[in-house]
Amino acid sequence: MMLLIGSHVNFKKDDQLLGSLKQALSYGANTFMFYTGAPQNTKRYPIEDGLTLAALQLMKEENIDYSKVVVHAPYIVNLANDSDPVKYKFSVDFLQEEIERCKLLGITKLVLHPGSHVGLGVDRAIANISNAINMISNDSVVILLETMAGKGTEVGSKLEEIKAIIDKVEDKEHIGVCLDTCHLNDGGYDIANFDEILDRVDRIIGLNKVGCVHINDSKNECGAHKDRHENFGFGQIGFDNLIKVIYNERLKDVPKILETPYVDKDFAPYKYEIEMIRSRKFDPDLIEKIRNQN
């Protein structure tokens, strides 16, 4: 079985998609995810086609399946709250621009946090999110609603909420879901019973709607609603449970993306984690090893 594994990588003004790809390759990854700029803001630069074409060429040479590469929309896009119409419109417009950028880059998967209702309640939030998606013109990108930890007033920590949004989206071809193991755990789904979770995903949303899986351990116990990621195998979910997610046959064509924290805030753990995942053997000294080799 061909494992589709990668991580979050940078996307910088000067080398753009080509730089992201090279970073992914340096981690031993065969897929990747990036924000089209900083995750926490909406400042974005024009896409340079020359860099995109060079990246496409290199992907071909490296046997990387372009259709599995993922973009993540920035955190501050909040489609759930329309209490300030100016901010809501800004979020909708930004999402539209993000779709255009994906199109220019040839990317067909866009992960989106459903957002936080900030007191409006879940029902209104679900209407706001689906209305926003329906307002956008998009014929090429599948928007993947990410399952959330349920921190604060986050929408989407229950599969039923994701399903309710999808139900209201008119263009069913361009809507799907991204499962995040840390968020599922924090939202109350026990990853130790991952096949049961997948049964529920299948019953409620449809397994064919899963377009991406975020692989993160969690610093907190199941149901904590905290959303603090931990390195692979070093958290409450644990190595064996995460390995079962990675190698689950039902998700074999879905890209697995690590968003685990940098070690000491400086050192990307992905090359080491990917190595460990491929070996299927837990290395309790991995964090120490990353520290020493950087």
What residues line the site for Fe ion (CB under 5 A)? 146, 180, 214
Single-letter amino acid code for the residue at 64: I
Residue with tokens 């993160």: 216
Task: List 214's β-bridge partners, or say none.
Answer: 180, 257
The one-character DSSP state at 179 is E
Taking the least distance from each CB to Fe ion, the nearer of 146 and 161 is: 146
The option from Zn ion, Fe ion, none interacting with 227 (CB < 5 to 8 A, set by class) reads Zn ion
The token duo for 266 is 């400086």
The option from Fe ion, Zn ion, none interacting with 214 (CB < 5 to 8 A, set by class) reads Fe ion
Residue 255 Cβ, how far from Fe ion at the closest point, in Å? 12
Residue 183 Cβ, how far from Zn ion at the closest point, in Å? 6
C-alpha–C-alpha distance, residues 261 and 287, integer Å: 11
Site residues (CB under 5 A) for Zn ion? 227
Residue 216 Cβ, how far from Zn ion at the closest point, in Å? 7
Taking the least distance from each CB to Zn ion, the nearer of 227 and 230 is: 227
The option from Zn ion, Fe ion, none interacting with 163 (CB < 5 to 8 A, set by class) reads none
Residue 146 Cβ, how far from Fe ion at the closest point, in Å? 5
Per-position b or e across 3-37, b if 16+ CB within 10 A of its CB: ebbbbbbebeeebbbbbbbebbbebbbbbbbbbbb
Taking the least distance from each CB to Fe ion, the nearer of 202 and 259 is: 259
Taking the least distance from each CB to Fe ion, the nearer of 180 and 230 is: 180
Q: According to DSSP H, which parts of 230-269 are helical?
A: 239-246
Candidates 51, 48, 110, 38; CA nearest to 79 is 110
